């Protein structure tokens, strides 16, 4: 190693999962919180894993988030992560907090760990008490293992109104060794700024200190998980956790490590992939919308404008209606609060340029409709021609099914 | 008058309109911008009226807003206001600006006025050029008068996807004289913060200087027009205009006038009434939602929290589903960005207390569903128990019809 930056390749691992990195096991079972589907899962590491986590910025935080933060505060490591779906254990007061402690205690006992090595989390309905007997009975049945199907069991166990599981895996080379980063997520509704009922769990076998990992995760979260929106609602239960087993045997990663960039990029790819999967599976969604903004005064502004566009109910409805309605896009740009030059904006939908220097162009409506009908991902390109900043955001269309799902979710 | 504050009664005038205050005439016709319905209207005052106006905070402002601002800048007076619907003349560049000037010029000619006494505005589709021939031909047919039906003609002429006209009228006593404040509005979609495709035109016969009127309108707008939301989108075309003919003959109003409070309250009632009518007629809406927040650290915070709740797609969907889902309400409170005590929140839906000190209460789901089914207006009461601030906001439910309307509006 000569200290110059290497850009080792980042490679997608087809069918890779949270079990691809060395040292992890998983389980997912039906514990009776949902009628039939899996609703309780665990990720277990062979060794105490260095950990980084980010949490919802909602001032109302669910009980398990508090308990998990306590666990991580002890030594920056966890060895097991236990999740239930169907009930968020949020807004449940003192009893909810006790239930979260009970859930952690039962898990520690089941896996023979100190309590502070266990993280717990919950997702589902807010404001109802956790059926704690079902949860603890379920925990006693959790037997994580590393066979292929276990990751899928876990992936299913954390879903609520999601229609599909979400997983990803990327690899790169650090110190000549392959290191893997696997991830799983759930999303669906309440997906917006600063984390939503978004749970993302990422595993890696890289050797990296918790503080360094935390720094990387925080930066990447701002460009990935915090750049998706389904409905503008920020949940009480969001969290993203990265566990690093350290079994890949590289020298400890930090920004001065020659392969740091490769590691960082790999982690970012994994988080971006999960983010897009979450946006694509937004409640009722039929399309993924990706907005790329260039020419902003800063990257932060670009991200903010992109997110404002992808969060506009009018833009989302237009995508559902296959209508290349750039008027709603420029309108959203105008109220983003970021500095713009109102006369210099370019907008394209896919390859179809619709606005140049804020002046409407003639374009084929048929071609635009065809693009919006045929493509799975609708690309919106904006150039503000006002600086060098760029950024992306992801979302989904607003459909009848979003309304149907959310008018009847609790009942 | 002895200088002590009087609180003269504010009285609703049944069927009162913009023509109730002395000195105003109106017209509304079909000029061919819409297929069949009225699409061009004017309010004309017998004398140059003192005027106050507030405009969208969207950085992209439609051409007519620029022209109207120029008119008002000359001497703070206008005598005629001309509005077309079906086309917003927004994002139409230099040609759009010329069209707005042409519209003003044609109006000035038709009514025999200096151009700077004419305000113009447009509402409808963004990004298409105004069919200016139809507009100018239409203007030459405008003959405002004061017969009863003329106000209704105007009320209709400014609508887009609105399902009903919106008007209001209140009266009070100033210097022993009756003064009237009438108003008309259109709203529907793109209704959010800081004005939306919300047009509100208010007439009064009170004697009041333009600067004083402007100050009153700005304060009132923050508590009324800026407290409604339909979909979180802020239009390029919003404006609220108040025209004061001065024909009531009172001594000029100002905050030191003994009847100032009565006048201010009357103007506020008129603006609040229009705001609620706009929210109730949000695209696809079946219910008006009114959120009252108390116990915030400031009135501003209370308004912000109220607006966050009423703007949540999840809360809006729950109201459509007649689901007393207070979890989504507390979630919105948590991400409002305002200081709260997460353990001290009370929430009631109508008279049904659902949360006390952030702890769920047992309540009858049947009773809650009955309330949400039977009432036209759904009241959400929040006490943050964290200060003395209070504020209200208004919105509507999110329905299949919102999606239907906005998936196909342009085409």
Strands B177-186 and A352-356: unpaired
* Chain centre distance of CA B300: 19
Q: Which of B223, B248, B278 is the last residue of a domain?
A: B278
Decide: B60 and B46 in contact? Cβ < 8 Å. Answer: no
| Total count of residues recorded for chain B | 411
| Residue A3 in domain | no
* Radius of gyration for chain A, computed over Cα atoms and rounded to the nearest angstrom: 22
Determine the Cα–Cα distance for residues B97 and B118; give it in Å rounded to an integer: 15
Query: Which of B56, B57, B59 is the best mutation test for A, with the most CBs of A within 10 A?
Result: B59
| Residue B177 in domain | yes
- Across the A:B interface, residue pairs with CB atoms under 8 Å apart total 208
For residues A151 and A256, state if they share a domain: yes
User: Which pLDDT band, with edges at 50, 70 and 90, does B400 fall under?
Assistant: confident
| Helix, strand, or coil (residue A251) | coil
Bridge partner list, A178: A173
For residues A271 and A292, state if they share a domain: no
Angle at B189 between CA B185 and CA B193, to 5 degrees: 80
At A411 the pLDDT is: 39
| Residue B222 in domain | yes
B198-254 pLDDT tens trace: 899 999 999 999 999 999 999 999 899 988 876 656 677 888 999 999 999 999 999
For residues A388 and A294, state if they share a domain: yes
Decide: B193 and B231 in contact? Cβ < 8 Å. Answer: no
B153-207 pLDDT tens trace: 999 999 988 889 999 999 999 999 999 999 999 986 654 433 336 899 999 999 9
Nearest by CB to B126, from A313, A331, A404: name it: A331
Q: Is the dihedral of CA B119, B120, B121, B126 positive or negative?
A: negative
Angle at A56 between CA A51 and CA A59, to 5 degrees: 130
Chain B residues whose CB is inside 8 A of the A58 CB are: 331, 334-335
| Helix, strand, or coil (residue A322) | coil
The number of helices, as runs of H, and strands, as runs of E, in chain B is 11, 15
**Nearest Cα to A393, choosing from A235, A227, A243?**
A227
| Residue A5 in domain | no
Determine the Cα–Cα distance for residues B79 and B44; give it in Å rounded to an integer: 6
Determine the Cα–Cα distance for residues B353 and B329; give it in Å rounded to an integer: 13
At B204 the pLDDT is: 98
Q: Domain residues for B165?
A: 11-278
Q: Is A287 annotated as a binding residue?
A: no
Nearest by CB to B318, from A92, A232, A406: name it: A406
Catalytic residue among A68, A172, A197, A203: A197
At A314 the pLDDT is: 85
A167-189 pLDDT tens trace: 999 999 999 999 999 999 998 66
B267-299 pLDDT tens trace: 999 999 999 999 888 878 899 999 999 999 999
For residues B294 and B250, state if they share a domain: no
Decide: B246 and B206 in contact? Cβ < 8 Å. Answer: yes
CA of B92 vs chain A CAs: smallest distance (Å): 6
CA of B317 vs chain A CAs: smallest distance (Å): 5
- CATH number (domain holding residue A329): 3.10.20.340
Angle at A299 between CA B238 and CA A189, to 5 degrees: 65
B359-378 pLDDT tens trace: 889 899 899 999 999 999 99
| Helix, strand, or coil (residue A152) | helix
User: Which pLDDT band, with edges at 50, 70 and 90, does B1 fall under?
Assistant: very low
| Residue A283 in domain | no
**Nearest Cα to B186, choosing from B201, B169, B208, B172?**
B201
Q: Where are the beta strands (DSSP E) in B344-411?
A: 346-349, 352-356, 359-360, 377-383, 389-396
For residues B265 and B313, state if they share a domain: no
Chain B residues whose CB is inside 8 A of the A127 CB are: 326-327, 330, 355, 360
Contact B59 A342 (CB under 8 A): yes
Q: How many domains does one find in chain A? A: 2
For residues B231 and B342, state if they share a domain: no
- CATH number (domain holding residue B68): 3.60.70.12
Q: Which of A226, A257, A278 is the last residue of a domain?
A: A278
* Chain centre distance of CA A137: 29
For residues B109 and B180, state if they share a domain: yes
**Nearest Cα to B120, choosing from B141, B147, B96?**
B96
- Taking chain A (411 residues) in runs of 10, the rounded mean pLDDT of each run is 62 97 98 96 98 87 94 97 94 92 98 98 89 98 95 96 93 96 84 57 98 96 86 74 97 96 97 93 89 96 93 88 88 87 94 92 92 94 97 90 69 39
Percent composition of chain A: helix, strand, coil (DSSP 3-state, to 5): 35, 25, 40
| Residue B4 in domain | no
For residues B261 and B377, state if they share a domain: no
Q: Return the axis-axis angle of helices B313-320 and B326-334, rounded to nearest 10°.
A: 160
Chain B residue whose CA is closest to A126: B327
Contact A233 B355 (CB under 8 A): no
| Residue A19 in domain | yes
Mean of the per-residue pLDDT values of chain B? 91
| Helix, strand, or coil (residue A73) | helix
Mean of the per-residue pLDDT values of chain A? 91
Residue A197 annotated to the active site: yes
For residues B192 and B67, state if they share a domain: yes
* Angstrom distances, CA of residue B32 to CA of B132, B164, B197: 11, 20, 21
| Residue B268 in domain | yes
Q: Is A164 annotated as a binding residue?
A: no
For residues A273 and A374, state if they share a domain: no
- Which uninterrupted H or E stretch holds B263? helix B260-280
Chain B residues whose CB is inside 8 A of the A318 CB are: 406-407, 409-410
For residues B351 and B221, state if they share a domain: no
A94-144 pLDDT tens trace: 899 999 999 999 999 999 999 999 999 999 888 889 999 999 999 999 999
Long-range pairs of B342-347 with CB within 8 A, sequence gap ≥ 24: B342/A59, B342/A60, B342/A61, B343/A93, B344/B384, B344/B385, B344/B386, B345/B382, B345/B383, B345/B384, B345/B385, B346/B381, B346/B382, B346/B383, B346/B385, B347/B380, B347/B381, B347/B382
**Nearest Cα to A111, choosing from A153, A151, A82?**
A82
Q: Determine how many CB atoms are found less than 10 A away from the CB of residue B360.
A: 21
Buried b (16+ CB within 10 A) or exposed e, A231-268: bbbbbbbbbbbbbbbbbbebeebeeebbbbbbbbbbbb
| Helix, strand, or coil (residue B411) | coil
At A232 the pLDDT is: 59
Selected residues 255-284 of chain B with any CB under 8 Å from a CB in chain A = none
Q: Which of A221, A246, A278 is the last residue of a domain?
A: A278
| Max mean pLDDT range (A22-36, A304-318, B1-15, B317-331) | A22-36
For residues A299 and A232, state if they share a domain: no
At A1 the pLDDT is: 42
């Amino acid at each position: 190693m000569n200290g110059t930056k290497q850009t080792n390749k980042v490679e997608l691992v087809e069918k890779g999962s949270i079990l691809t990195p060395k040292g992890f096991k998983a389980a997912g079972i039906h514990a009776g919180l949902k009628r039939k589907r899996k609703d309780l899962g665990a990720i277990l590491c062979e060794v105490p894993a260095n950990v980084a986590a980010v949490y919802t910025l909602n001032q109302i935080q669910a009980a398990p988030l508090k308990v998990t933060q306590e666990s991580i505060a002890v030594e920056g490591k966890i060895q097991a992560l236990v999740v239930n779906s169907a009930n968020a254990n949020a807004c449940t007061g003192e009893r909810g907090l006790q239930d979260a402690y009970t859930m952690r205690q039962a898990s520690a006992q089941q896996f023979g760990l100190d309590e502070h090595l266990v993280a717990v989390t919950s997702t589902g309905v807010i404001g109802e008490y956790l059926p704690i007997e079902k949860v603890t009975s379920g925990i006693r049945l959790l037997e994580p293992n590393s066979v292929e199907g276990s990751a899928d069991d876990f992936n299913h166990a954390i879903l609520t109104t999601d229609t599909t599981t979400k997983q990803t895996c990327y690899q790169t080379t650090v110190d000549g060794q392959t290191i893997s980063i696997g991830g799983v997520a759930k999303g669906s509704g309440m997906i917006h700024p600063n984390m939503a009922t978004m749970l993302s769990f990422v595993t890696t076998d890289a050797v990296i200190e918790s503080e360094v990992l935390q720094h990387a995760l925080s930066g990447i979260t701002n460009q990935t998980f915090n750049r998706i929106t389904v409905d503008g609602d920020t949940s009480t239960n969001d969290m993203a956790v990265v566990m690093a087993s350290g079994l890949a045997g590289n020298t400890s990663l930090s920004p001065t490590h020659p392969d740091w960039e490769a590691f960082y990029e790999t982690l970012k790819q994994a988080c971006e992939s999960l983010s897009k999967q979450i946006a694509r599976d937004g409640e009722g969604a039929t399309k993924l919308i990706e907005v790329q903004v260039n020419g902003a005064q800063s990257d932060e502004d670009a991200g903010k404008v992109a997110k404002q566009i992808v969060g506009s109910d009018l833009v989302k409805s237009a995508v559902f209606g296959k209508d290349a309605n750039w008027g709603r896009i420029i309108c959203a740009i105008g109220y983003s609060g970021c500095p713009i030059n109102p006369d210099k904006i370019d907008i394209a939908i896919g390859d179809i340029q619709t606005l140049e220097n804020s002046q409407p162009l003639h374009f084929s409506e048929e071609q635009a409709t065809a693009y919006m009908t045929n493509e799975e991902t609708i690309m919106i390109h904006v150039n503000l021609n006002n600086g060098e900043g760029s950024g992306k955001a992801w979302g989904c269309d607003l459909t009848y099914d979003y309304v149907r799902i959310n008018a009847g979710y609790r009942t």
